[in-house]
Amino acid sequence: MRIGELSRRAGVSVPTIKYYVREGLLPAGRLTSPNQASYEESHIRRLRLIRALLDVGGLSVAAIREVVVAIDDEELPLHEVLGTASERVVPRYEGGAGGPEEDVRAAARTAVAGLIDRRGWRSHPGSPAAEALAVALTALEDLGHGSFTEVLDDYADAAERVARADLDYVARNVAREDLVESVVVGTVLGDAVFGALRRLAQVDASDRLYGAER
């Protein structure tokens, strides 16, 4: 197909398609003449993945380039492909500015490392996800809710169940792009789904616990 048809079918403008090609996000079309190129169904699929990473995942162009490079590297183990995709949707946090706040952050990092160790998780304490958890625990401490760490393992139990459900869903796919799409969409939209379910369950639990006081 010509680039115009690719644009119409993928819902992406021609200038944007050309930009994605220049940035290494989308493979160039097969040249049929000096000024014409032909595109395949795989280009439509890649464009949809790029849009999902941009619009749903909120990834930068640079981060998307890392993901598509991992997808296209047939020698890269699938676990690393999935890791590359999933880690790019985790927020990055800068280190603290020093002083008492940094001491609290350091204690939170120690708590996270302890959680990872006692649960036997094959995760690195210095990973973006671990740092994001440490930042959240630091904020809780700052707000006077440092005792939240007492229920951290309960949250970890729930997280393990959700993670298994995530991977069970991912395992239904065979193609590498299908797998990566499942990770990205499942992580981002799955977070939204889980957050909504949690709130529904909180309303129910609150009513059961405190409803009789009305």
104-163 pLDDT tens trace = 899 999 999 999 999 999 988 888 889 989 999 999 999 999 999 999 999 999 999 998
The DSSP 8-state label assigned to residue 94 in this structure reads P
Q: Are residues 60 and 12 in the same domain?
A: yes
The two tokens of residue 107 are: 């204690």
Residues of the chain with pLDDT > 70, as a percent, come to 95
Q: Which of 110, 138, 156 is the last residue of a domain?
A: 156
The two tokens of residue 72 are: 């296209």
Residues spanned by the domain of 16: 3-87
38-77 pLDDT tens trace = 999 999 989 998 998 888 777 889 988 988 888 888 788 8
Q: Are residues 73 and 111 in the same domain?
A: no
Predicted TM-score of the model (pTM): 0.71
User: What pLDDT is stored for residue 213 in this prediction?
Assistant: 58
Give how far the C-alpha of residue 84 lies from the chain's centroid of Cα atoms, to the nearest Å: 9
Q: Are residues 39 and 16 in the same domain?
A: yes
CATH number at residue 79: 1.10.1660.10
